[in-house]
Amino acid sequence: MNAAPHFASSSLDQTLLEAIECLKSSQLDQAQQLAEEVLQKQPGREEGLYVLALVAYAKEQFESAKRFLEQLLSLNPTNPGYLAYMADTLALMEDYHGAERHYQAALSLQPQDVEALVNLGRTQVKLQRLDEAVRSFSQALTLRPDHPDNMRELAVCLSHLGRMAPALNLLEKAVKLDPESGEVHHSYAFALLKDGRYPEGWQEMTWRFKSNHYRKLHGAQFQHPFWEGNERPDIHLMLICEQGFGDVIQMIRYAPLVAEKVGRLSIYTTEELERLMGAIPGVDYVAIDSRDPVLGDVSHCLPTLHLPLVFETTPETIPSTKGLFVLSEQERGAASSLPDQKMDDGRLRIGLVWTGKSHQGFQFEYLAPLLALEGPRFYSLQYGPAGDLVTGHPGIADLRPLMGDFADTAGLIREMDLVISTDTAVAHLAGTLGVETWVMLHEQADWRWGLGGDRTPWYPSVRLFRQRALGGWQGVVEAMVGGLIGR
Measured CA to CA in angstroms, residue 482 lies from 348, 373, 477 at distances of 15, 11, 9
Same fold, 222-310 and 338-485: yes
Cβ atoms < 10 Å from Cβ of 320: 10
Whole-angstrom distance, CA of residue 472 vs CA of residue 366: 11
> For domain 222-310, is the CATH number 2.60.40?
no
B/e letters for 389-414, b = 16+ CB within 10 Å, e = fewer, are bbeeeeebbbbeebbebbbbbbbbbe
Q: Give the three-state DSSP class for 396.
A: strand
Among candidate residues 141, 149, 6, 3, the one with its CA nearest the CA of residue 80: 6
Domain ranges, ordered by start, for the chain: 9-207, 222-310, 338-485
Spatial distance between the Cα atoms of 358 and 31, rounded to a whole number of angstroms: 38
CA angle 167, 169, 175 (to 5 degrees): 100
- Residues with Cβ within 8 Å of residue 108, at least 6 apart in sequence: none
Do 227 and 235 meet the contact criterion of CB atoms below 8 Å apart? Answer: yes
CATH code of the region 338-485:
3.40.50.2000
Write out the DSSP string of 217-278: HHGGG--SPBP-SS-EEEEEEEEE--S-HHHHHHHGGGHHHHHTTEEEEEEE--GGGHHHHH
Average confidence (pLDDT) per 10 residues, the chain, 487 residues: 50 80 92 91 90 94 96 96 96 97 98 97 94 97 95 96 96 97 95 97 92 60 88 96 95 98 97 96 94 92 96 97 86 64 76 83 93 94 94 91 95 96 97 98 91 96 91 92 88
Fold of 9-207: 1.25.40
Q: What is the pLDDT of residue 3?
A: 47
CA distance 133 to 125: 6
Asked whether the whole model's pTM tops 0.95, one would answer: no
